[in-house]
Amino acid sequence: MLVAGRAALVTGAGRRLGRAIAEGLAARGARVAVHYGRSAADAASVAASIRAKGGDAEVFGADLTDAAAIERLAGAVSEYFGPVDILVNNAAVFYRTPLPALSEREWDETFGVNLRAPFLLSLRLGREMRARGIGKIVNIGDGGASRPYRDHLPYGVSKAGVTALTQGLAKALAPEVQVNCVAPGPILPVAGTTAEEQVRILERTPLGRFGSPEDVVAAVLFLIEGSDFVTGTTVVVDGGRALV
């Protein structure tokens, strides 16, 4: 699939990796729906940046813990841009949840954004892609899916679910739609990470450095444009950290 001219929805596109993915798709000629949950100003900045470079982008807000809001999001994007051929499920909740204080609310919020929202969007838009005979879905996973991070239990379990969701959707939507996952490792330090913690992360990363958002964008673009014969797989972009 060529990205140019295609309508693409990127969730959580106001910041960090989501922003880089949205801008990367726009640079290849996609018409980008920039979704945000709480970062309205950041999303507007992304869309403005894309337009300033001659691209086409529009901002869409939606609470991804709300199934009705997800349905409205899919409908609004399709109404504005026409058929959506590219879906990047990037939005995620990530914060410390130590087990002694872990609440049902935190568990439900994490699963709602990280797993149920990608499922619901893929269900709605994936069915439409399959009916048209073409489509690409890329889920953003995490190395924590196979090696859970301490004090991030719901996050790790939800991302393991994203891996399984990717594989299940790849079978269910084949052959018309290809569904894959990109699992970043140490790309951008998490807010609040101390210098000592960053050093420990890099000591466990064979390439000895943090990656860049562009490394993730390159993997996403490969799965969309680079091949139509890859589905159900996870591309790990972690500098070799999974080997340690």
Q: Which of 36, 95, 149, 159 is catalytic?
A: 159
pTM above 0.75, yes or no: yes
Q: Which of 36, 53, 95, 155 is catalytic?
A: 155
Judge whether 231 lies within some domain.
yes
Active site residue 155: yes
Give the model confidence (pLDDT) of 73-109 as tens digits. 999 999 999 999 999 999 999 777 888 888 889 989 9
Q: In what order do the strands lie in the sheet with 84-89?
A: 56-61, 31-36, 7-10, 84-89, 135-140, 177-184, 234-237
Judge whether 155 lies within some domain.
yes
If one counts the domains in the chain, the total is 1
Active site residue 53: no
Burial class (CB in 10 A: 0-12, 13-18, 19+), 223: buried
Judge whether 1 lies within some domain.
no
Judge whether 2 lies within some domain.
no
Give the model confidence (pLDDT) of 23-67 as tens digits. 999 999 999 999 999 999 999 999 999 999 999 999 999 999 999
Lowest mean pLDDT among 119-133, 186-200, 216-230: 186-200
Judge whether 210 lies within some domain.
yes
Q: What is the CATH number of the domain that holds 207?
A: 3.40.50.720
Judge whether 196 lies within some domain.
yes
Give the model confidence (pLDDT) of 135-189 as tens digits. 999 999 997 777 777 777 888 899 999 999 999 999 999 999 999 999 999 888 7
Judge whether 66 lies within some domain.
yes
Judge whether 93 lies within some domain.
yes
Q: Which domain holds residue 93?
A: 7-243
In Å, how far are 18, 27, 242 from 147, measured between CA atoms? Answer: 23, 34, 8
